[in-house]
Chains A and B, each alone.
Chain A
Amino acid sequence: MSIPVRLPSALAAQAGGNRKLDAEGATVGAVLNHVVERFPSVGPRLRDPSGELYPFVTVYLNDQDIRFSDGFATVVHEGDEVVIVPAVAGG
């Protein structure tokens, strides 16, 4: 299953300039791992050394922060979109 992944411009620089990619996977984590296989330098900007979500990004499945679902284990379906957004905004 192919799922579109939207990247912020800062991360697109690590992904061949792509702001939107298609990636394969059954969960959010698997989809992102597929992105990282193609663009390895994206990896350490998404997950910290222990595999947890890097503190400076937030990952959404459609409009939902994946921390309100099952995190990287959240299951994706046809028509879903994974969106990565910098986490520094707020206040």
Chain B
Amino acid sequence: MTTTVAPETLTPFPLACSNCGVPHTSDRPAAICLECLGPLEVVYPADRVLPDRDTIAARPRTLWRYREWLPFEGSPVAAKDTGWTPLQEAPRVAQALGVRRAWLKLDTLSNPTLSFKDRVVTTAINAVRAFGLDAIGCASTGNLANAVAAAAAREGIPAWIFVPHDLELAKLVGTLVYGPHLVRVRGTYDDVNRLCAQLADEYPWGIANVNLRAYYGEGSKTMAFEIVEQLRWQLPTAVIAPMAGGSLVTKLRKGFGEFLAAGLVDGALPRIYGAQATGCSPIVKLFERGSGGIVPEIPSTIARSLAIGNPADGLAASRVLRETNGGAAAVSDDEIRDAIRELASLTGVFGETAAGVTYAGAKALARRGALGPDDDVVICLTGNGLKTAEALHADLDGVPTINPRLREVEALVN
């Protein structure tokens, strides 16, 4: 068999304002509309040819198998092997929740940095290449820092990464090991984010979640695409995801909607549920109020990766939860720890604190009857537990420490 290697070229699709519709005409990426300051979004060609199920199924098992729904014309030039994380059925979780079937979407095993942020960085790093930018950067609560640092290292381009100074050890070391310019900022994520919004105005960098945001966010849709295909082209009835900035639930909604519109799957849009920690739950509170805008908070929770007190996509996320007849749940730090332990004991999966939030949120939703015996539920676990091991450090206090003597084990067994 002979193969033809296509030249590696990549052209980003253009941007337009999601608020006023005015096209973005600069040849450099931007976060906001110059007319109204509204957020820019990618405009896909209306006449692009979409693949059918068989065509997709024959492609390599990476998120690029859905490339027609990603924001570029041409072939990816970087991070070509991200995505296609396992969807693991979890019958004991289904039993615990009282639902028909339950699956875990395991971005805990994402290549290369064990969180769903590898998806968004895949599109961001390709945007950096396509626009010919000097460096990539980000504001991060940790997982994005890991993913940006790894992608930049692999591409051999500089990375400027800004994080709250007091992140978990594994998030810091798991960034620094790749050799970026890592900067710890005294303040919360929201302080870091504000700084990066200002930096994007000053330096010729592609800041993943600022001026590359329109391209970056589209990578999240691939989680929805994979769920549908891994369920053999079926839709679940309900999906539960964590909320930080609020983008993921909006992109899950968009992804499911795009596969429905393309005729790749039939049925009803899943109900989408979002979970936050009680110590930082501005989107849950907005959803429960039912009107108005985000009221920012100073976060205080062990779920550091979700600790965004002023979520940029909070309003859009709240609307998605409402429009899909889904809902929201906030859970305490103790519930998060218990949920991490229970998830591990029922499924063999060690999720990070955000995964604890999501599973605890699923339990809270089941208790209040939002999930029921007719539901097929997918729980999105977005980060690996090894990244936030500190959350359960105190559990070691109950572990026996012995001398290497048989009788000491016998004493424990008996």
A interface with B by C-beta (< 8 Å): 8-11, 13, 45, 54-58, 60, 63, 65, 67-68, 83, 85-91
Known: A56-B37, A85-B198. A91 touches B187 (CB 8 A): no
In Å, the complex CA distance between A68 and B187 comes to: 15
B293 on interface, CB distance cutoff 8 Å = yes
Contact of B187 among A9, A54, A63, A90 (CB under 8 A): A63
A19 to chain B: closest CB distance in Å? 8
| Contact residues in B for A60 (Cβ distance below 8 Å) | 194
Q: How many A-B residue pairs have CB under 8 A?
A: 91
Known: A11-B37, A60-B194. A90 touches B313 (CB 8 A): yes
> Are B33 and A10 in touch, CB under 8 angstroms?
yes
A51 to chain B: closest CB distance in Å? 14
In Å, the complex CA distance between A10 and B187 comes to: 26
Known: A85-B197, A91-B245, A91-B313. A57 touches B308 (CB 8 A): no
Known: A55-B293, A63-B187, A67-B296. A88 touches B32 (CB 8 A): yes
| Contact residues in B for A56 (Cβ distance below 8 Å) | 19, 32, 36-39
**Proximity string of chain B (31-50) to chain A, C-beta cutoff 8 Å, 1 when within and 0 when not:** 11110111100000000000
Known: A56-B32, A91-B246. A9 touches B201 (CB 8 A): yes
B29 on interface, CB distance cutoff 8 Å = no
> Are A65 and B201 in touch, CB under 8 angstroms?
no
Contact of A86 among B37, B139, B209 (CB under 8 A): B37
In Å, the complex CA distance between A57 and B30 comes to: 15
> Are B293 and A89 in touch, CB under 8 angstroms?
no
> Are B37 and A89 in touch, CB under 8 angstroms?
no
| Contact residues in B for A55 (Cβ distance below 8 Å) | 293, 315
Contact of B34 among A10, A65, A83, A91 (CB under 8 A): A10
**Proximity string of chain B (53-91) to chain A, C-beta cutoff 8 Å, 1 when within and 0 when not:** 000000000000000000000000000000000000000
In Å, the complex CA distance between A54 and B37 comes to: 9
B171 on interface, CB distance cutoff 8 Å = no
Which A residue's beta carbon lies closest to that of B120? A91
| Contact residues in A for B19 (Cβ distance below 8 Å) | 56
> Are B37 and A45 in touch, CB under 8 angstroms?
yes
In Å, the complex CA distance between A8 and B200 comes to: 10
Size of B's binding interface in residues, CB under 8 A: 42
Interface residues of B in 365-388 (CB under 8 A from A): none
> Are A13 and B34 in touch, CB under 8 angstroms?
yes
In Å, the complex CA distance between A13 and B34 comes to: 8
> Are B197 and A8 in touch, CB under 8 angstroms?
yes
Known: A9-B201, A60-B194, A65-B190. A90 touches B296 (CB 8 A): no
**Proximity string of chain B (306-343) to chain A, C-beta cutoff 8 Å, 1 when within and 0 when not:** 00101111010000000000000000000000000000
| Contact residues in A for B187 (Cβ distance below 8 Å) | 63
A52 to chain B: closest CB distance in Å? 8
**Proximity string of chain B (133-155) to chain A, C-beta cutoff 8 Å, 1 when within and 0 when not:** 00000010000100000000000
B213 on interface, CB distance cutoff 8 Å = yes
**Proximity string of chain B (193-217) to chain A, C-beta cutoff 8 Å, 1 when within and 0 when not:** 1101110110000010110010001
B191 on interface, CB distance cutoff 8 Å = yes
> Are B209 and A91 in touch, CB under 8 angstroms?
yes
Which B residue's beta carbon lies closest to that of A86? B32
Interface residues of B in 288-310 (CB under 8 A from A): 293, 295-296, 298, 308, 310
Which A residue's beta carbon lies closest to that of B244? A91
**Proximity string of chain B (224-258) to chain A, C-beta cutoff 8 Å, 1 when within and 0 when not:** 00000000000000000000111110000000000
A11 to chain B: closest CB distance in Å? 7
The 10 A-B residue pairs whose C-beta atoms are closest, nearest first, are: A91-B245, A90-B312, A90-B245, A88-B39, A56-B37, A89-B210, A91-B247, A89-B197, A86-B32, A85-B197
